[in-house]
Amino acid sequence: MASESDRIARAGDYVLGLMNDLERERAERDLEIDPAFRDAVVQLADRMHMFDRAEPADGEERWTQITQRIAELPQMRSSGLAGNGAKSPTVIRNLSRRPHGIGLHTLGGRRGFAVAVGLIMAFVLGYLAGKL
């Protein structure tokens, strides 16, 4: 039994026409007997159908249409791939105040040295106690 990801990958290869003749014949046979594979193929074909709605175009024009559609997706707005040349917004400009007292960056100076010495002593004492 194939896993879900293998089934989706195989369905994608079938829908995109990436299979050789033997694999395609086997996939078509599986479409008749395996309802999970059939559902995966139908689902992927429905998703790919959105590219059929566009007016027919040749090579480079088709690729331009695809990249424009991807750039229009909400999650791509801040990536800088939008067609209007918008740059991604800067999230962190500078640190106007010191970082909070949480994390590894707070262990500097004397406190960091004291913590490190304390940990080393604890490990040495644990090691010695284990040996005795």
- Per-residue pLDDT of 48-100, as tens digits, reads 776 666 555 566 677 777 777 777 766 666 555 555 555 555 555 565 666 56
Domain-embedded: residue 60: yes
Mean pLDDT (the chain, rounded): 76
CB distance 10 to 37 below 8 Å: yes
Q: What pTM was estimated for this model as a whole?
A: 0.40
- Structural domain total, the chain: 1
Domain-embedded: residue 13: yes
Owning domain of residue 50? 4-79
Domain-embedded: residue 49: yes
Domain-embedded: residue 12: yes
Domain-embedded: residue 85: no
